[in-house]
Amino acid sequence: MSLAAERPASVRVQERAETVQEDVRYEGLVTRAIAFAIDAAVIDIVAIAVAGAVALAVSVLSIPDVVDTVLLAIGGALFVVWSCGYFVTFWSTTGQTPGARVMRLRVVRAGGGRLSAGRALLRVVYLTLAAIPLLLGFAPVLVDERRRGLHDMLAGTVVVEVPEVTPAARRGEPPGVPPS
Amino acid sequence: MLRAGLSLATRAGGAVGRRLEDAGLWAIDAALSSRLAREAVDRTLESPLAERAVGRALEGPLVDAVARDVARYAVVERLMDRLIEESVLEHAVDRVLTGPELVRIADAVLEQVLDSDELWALVEEVAQSPAVTEAISRQGVSFADQVAVGVRARSHNADAWLERAARRALRRPPSERASP
């Protein structure tokens, strides 16, 4: 029996993933924070616009206080759903939220590949948990070799840099071909 | 003897002929420089006959023949060469450029152009053309790209600096893989 066969399959998969991704660059805390800030701005702007429109509509109706409270609770719940849905949708489809697209980063599984919706949802939950202890859950990004935060480690994800696509590459030309 | 007589007669005939030619030419010169000739020319040119003659000449094949000959004998080129050699063209251009006529003409042309509805219709047409709108949007995207590139470069530097500081604080060796 070979030495490779003695190791568990999960370890071998992890090693292979690391070998394949040797040239991959992982994104750091500041870059990711900027991407997150852009996403937060998008989420909040949409939420404020919708909330403003609903509040205007409700203001012309004479609604009891109890209903107001219920509407507020529904609004809060919708905000949570909207925020989670935003990240889950983008992470599980392209791996890039709009903020990540601007900062050229992508969330992928640690072994490579796209996140499933479930894993993306778990990452949102872990992200929230990592933020609770005064953001200390993000500190491992500073020292981890793959720049993973607590939420990345728990969800089995990494944040990688998306290489820039040159116009020549976009046209399908091989590198080194001078522009015509 | 007969030959000598013939030769004498021939010489005498030639001399008489030359005298007659001279007399004829003198008569023509006198006629051309006479008041009557000037009057005749003036009246002819003022009459509808002159207009008709010019009109017929321009109608007919004369213009084509002249144009052919002008091209064949490189009349324009020779004329231009001569004008350039004599610096006539240079003086003319100087005079036009430094004189008030050019400004006056330009003002008049500009005023007419700006007053014309066709110009504004054309401007509107050009401004709404897909090529122009595409160029403007491409310019906007390119500016946003430039800003994003700048932000990314700075954020990568900040990532590296922050990680070095964190590793120093934790007395860890500097990372070679994660740093940009």
Confidence of residue A3 (pLDDT cuts 50, 70, 90): very low
Quickly count: other Cβ atoms within 10 Å of residue A21's Cβ.
17
Tokens of A8: 């568990």
What's the gap in Å between the CA of A86 and the closest CA on chain B?
Answer: 22
Nearest to A30 among B155, B175, B177 (CB): B155
Confidence of residue A30 (pLDDT cuts 50, 70, 90): very high
Judging by DSSP bridges, how do beta strands A105-109 and A157-161 pair with one another?
antiparallel
Contact B166 A143 (CB under 8 A): yes
Contact A30 B159 (CB under 8 A): yes
> Mean of the pLDDT values across residues B111-135?
87
Structural domain includes residue A15: no
Q: What gap in Å lies between CA A123 and CA A125, rounded to an integer?
A: 5
What's the gap in Å between the CA of A23 and the closest CA on chain B?
Answer: 9
Give the closest residue to A120 by CA, choosing from A167, A80, A73, A154: A154
Residue of B nearest to A159 (CA): B178
Structural domain includes residue A177: no
Look at residue B13 in the predicted model and tell me its pLDDT. Answer: 81
Q: What gap in Å lies between CA B79 and CA B75, rounded to an integer?
A: 6
Structural domain includes residue A7: no
Strand, helix or coil at A109? strand
Look at residue A168 in the predicted model and tell me its pLDDT. Answer: 62
Structural domain includes residue A97: yes
B47 by Cβ neighbours in 10 Å (0-12 / 13-18 / 19+) ranks as exposed
Tens of pLDDT, residue by residue over B1-34, are: 677 777 888 888 888 888 999 999 998 898 888 8
Task: Check residues B49 and A89 and name the one with the higher pLDDT.
Answer: A89
Look at residue A173 in the predicted model and tell me its pLDDT. Answer: 59
Contact B162 A30 (CB under 8 A): yes
Look at residue A179 in the predicted model and tell me its pLDDT. Answer: 46
Q: Which residues contact A81 (CB under 8 A, 6 or more apart)?
A: none
Amino acid at residue number B161 = W
Look at residue A22 in the predicted model and tell me its pLDDT. Answer: 57
Confidence of residue B113 (pLDDT cuts 50, 70, 90): confident
Query: Does ipTM exceed 0.85?
Result: no
A27 by Cβ neighbours in 10 Å (0-12 / 13-18 / 19+) ranks as buried
> Does residue B71 carry a pLDDT above 60?
yes
Structural domain includes residue A101: yes
Structural domain includes residue A53: yes
The answer to whether the pTM exceeds 0.90 is no
Confidence of residue B100 (pLDDT cuts 50, 70, 90): confident
Q: What gap in Å lies between CA A155 and CA A125, rounded to an integer?
A: 9
Query: Which residues of chain A form beta strands (DSSP E)?
Result: 105-109, 157-161
Contact B170 A143 (CB under 8 A): yes
Residue of A nearest to B148 (CA): A102
Q: Does any CB of chain B come closer than 8 Å to the CB of residue A21?
A: no
Confidence of residue B178 (pLDDT cuts 50, 70, 90): very low
Nearest to A31 among B155, B166, B170 (CB): B155
Look at residue A7 in the predicted model and tell me its pLDDT. Answer: 59
Look at residue A180 in the predicted model and tell me its pLDDT. Answer: 42
Q: Which residues contact B84 (CB under 8 A, 6 or more apart)?
A: B90
Look at residue B179 in the predicted model and tell me its pLDDT. Answer: 44
Residue of B nearest to A32 (CA): B155
Cross-strand pairs, B179:
none
A139 interaction partners in chain B (CB closer than 8 Å): 166
Contact A34 B178 (CB under 8 A): no
Q: Which of A22, A31, A146, A165 to mutate to test the interface with B (most CBs of B within 10 A)?
A: A31
Nearest to B177 among A27, A143, A145 (CB): A145
Cross-strand pairs, A101:
none
> Does residue A19 carry a pLDDT above 80?
no
Look at residue B180 in the predicted model and tell me its pLDDT. Answer: 41
Contact A29 B162 (CB under 8 A): yes
Residue of B nearest to A22 (CA): B177
Look at residue A103 in the predicted model and tell me its pLDDT. Answer: 94
> Does residue A23 carry a pLDDT above 90?
no
Look at residue B118 in the predicted model and tell me its pLDDT. Answer: 86
How many domains, in total, are found in chain A? 1
Tens of pLDDT, residue by residue over A126-169, are: 999 999 999 999 999 999 999 999 999 999 999 999 987 766 66
Tens of pLDDT, residue by residue over A73-128, are: 999 999 999 999 999 999 999 999 999 999 999 999 999 899 999 999 999 999 99
Domain encompassing residue A143 = 26-163
> Does residue B123 carry a pLDDT above 80?
yes
Structural domain includes residue A172: no
Contact A143 B163 (CB under 8 A): yes
Look at residue A13 in the predicted model and tell me its pLDDT. Answer: 52
B6 — alpha (psi -120 to 50), left (phi > 0) or beta? alpha
> Does residue B148 carry a pLDDT above 70?
yes
Q: Torsions phi, psi of B176, nearest 5?
A: -100, -20
Q: Does any CB of chain B come closer than 8 Å to the CB of residue A101?
A: no
Structural domain includes residue A18: no
> Does residue B46 carry a pLDDT above 60?
yes
Contact B155 A28 (CB under 8 A): yes
Q: What gap in Å lies between CA A100 and CA A159, rounded to an integer?
A: 10
Contact B162 A28 (CB under 8 A): yes
Q: Does any CB of chain B come closer than 8 Å to the CB of residue A4?
A: no
